[in-house]
Amino acid sequence: MKKILVTGANGQLGTTLKKLSPTTSDHWIFSTKSELDITNSNSIKIFFTENEFDICINCAAYTKVEDAEKETEKASEINVEAVQKLVSACNEKQCSLIHISTDYVFDGTKGTPYTEEDPTAPLNQYGKSKLLGELQIQQNSNSFYIIRTSWLYSKTLGSNFYSAILKKAQNGDSLTVVNDQMGTPTDVANLAAFILKIIDKEPAIGLYHFSDEKIMTWYDLAVQILKEHELTNPIAPSSTEKGGAVRPKYSPLISIKKF
């Protein structure tokens, strides 16, 4: 049985993987930042020396798109330099790395869904840091899976778009939601299931896209959330505010890799 490390275990993906993993298995280790700080080489060295892993699923990431415009060094520390450290540790221990990336590595000008073969051109600092992390893995890792996903949300965990819209609606608030960005919103439970499939099937190493298949705007997703909960709050479409991080207008993902 494979022994698996999950970094960033307190996030919505790490928490979801914990729920889906065998509850009685000691072959899954879920590490929080206090237990394993992936930005610290010594922390990684100690953790990988004291434990043996076949697979490392890196769920730790800097994901604050707006803040990354000012906190470029912090975004790079977590999304690039820490990834480089994980690659080195995984190579030394002959451990495969599963890493999560984003649709924001694209500029949104293609007009049709992006595949694994499309050229990248990130518009903001967050996307740039995630792309540099991908390149660290592709250029240096001996065994890896990079999984790009899109507009990740959870129906049950933490603070995210789904929970924010639902809370406002349940409080009786009217809603105004951006309607000029298009993507493929993805339930974190479906992404977690895809990762488990990767672990089980062991397809060819490399880059994979995974997202839910329905293309929509944030406004469309908000409308869907209200319908799911039989709520009738007023909801108005809006345009993306100027200033801050530039986001791709059209960044749905599709995969041309099947297994």
Which H helix or E strand runs over 238?
strand 235-238
Q: Give 48-81 as a DSSP string.
A: HHH---SEEEE------TTGGGT-HHHHHIIIII
Question: Closest Cα partner for 114 from 123, 103, 126?
Answer: 103
Close Cβ partners of 137 (under 8 Å, ≥ 6 residues apart): 83, 87, 97, 99, 144, 146
Q: Which residues are catalytic?
A: 126
- The two most distant CA atoms of the chain are separated, in Å, by 56
* SS3 of residue 226 by DSSP: helix
* SS3 of residue 7 by DSSP: strand
CB atoms within 10 A of CB 174: 10
